[in-house]
Amino acid sequence: MIGILGGTFDPVHYGHLRLAEEMREALGLTQVRFIPAFQPPHREPPVASAHQRLAMLYLALQDNKAFTVDTREYERGGPSWMVDTCASLRASYSDRPLVLIMGMDAFNGFTRWRDWQGILARVHLAVATRPGATLTAEAAQLLAEYASSAAELKQAPAGRIVEVPIAALDISATRLRELAAQNHSTRYLLPEAVREYLLRNRLYRTNL
């Protein structure tokens, strides 16, 4: 079973990496594909360029064989609608089970994503608890409707939702950009190679 972690990764940090690692272990994923959005349609434009966010992901994932950078949104260009990405993944992986990983904050907005039903028709969802985030009533109802165990996910290619409790790591890209802008230390919040990249390129220093 293949995990998919979409995000802005502006920048990638240990919250993302632990999310992927805990999901890999809990669900028995053979790989997790990190897919940086070229142009995230549901939020402010990223501060770092798509190229820089991709470069930071390569640095962050370089020593883990189970984690892969998937460049399909970058190559497609334009707004990165997840339903298009899921259609492309489905074409690549025929009927293998695919699991789209997301934090609770992302899941709370899921029914506002373009053609969310089309997403669920193509992939399963795995929702992780995240510090400070609680489910909205609508999200809780959706979860209850499609709820599945980790074992059941393997029996179908798509269409189920599993909730996976993960250890709380209170790290966000927003906080990292703020720290970098104020020239404060970001050490131990993200991989050292990514931290060095930020410093070398003076990323987030001026354009917060």
Q: Is 34 helix (H, G, I), strand (E, B) or coil?
A: strand
Residue 195 DSSP one-character state: H
Binding of ligand ATP at residue 26 (CB under 6 A)?
Answer: no
Q: Is 9 helix (H, G, I), strand (E, B) or coil?
A: coil
Min separation Cβ 126 and ligand ATP, Å: 10
Specify the residue, 135 or 169, whose C-beta has the smaller distance to ligand ATP: 169
Which tokens is 89 given? 């993944």
Instruction: State which of positions 60-119 bind ligand ATP (CB under 6 A).
Output: 102-103, 105-106
124-128 vs 67-69, strand pairing mode: unpaired
Among 82, 83, 99, 173, binds ligand ATP (CB under 6 A): 173
Min separation Cβ 32 and ligand ATP, Å: 12
Min separation Cβ 94 and ligand ATP, Å: 26
Going by C-beta distance under 8 Å and a sequence separation of 6 or more, which residues neighbour residue 143? 107, 127, 135, 161, 163
Specify the residue, 101 or 158, whose C-beta has the smaller distance to ligand ATP: 101
Q: Are the beta carbons of 185 and 179 closer than 8 angstroms?
A: yes
Query: Which span sits near ligand ATP by CB under 6 A: 24-32, 109-117, 134-142, 167-175?
Result: 167-175
Q: What angle do CA 75, 128, 171 make, to 5 degrees?
A: 75
User: Which residues here bind ligand ATP, judged by CB under 6 A?
Assistant: 7-10, 15-16, 19, 102-103, 105-106, 128, 130, 169, 171-174
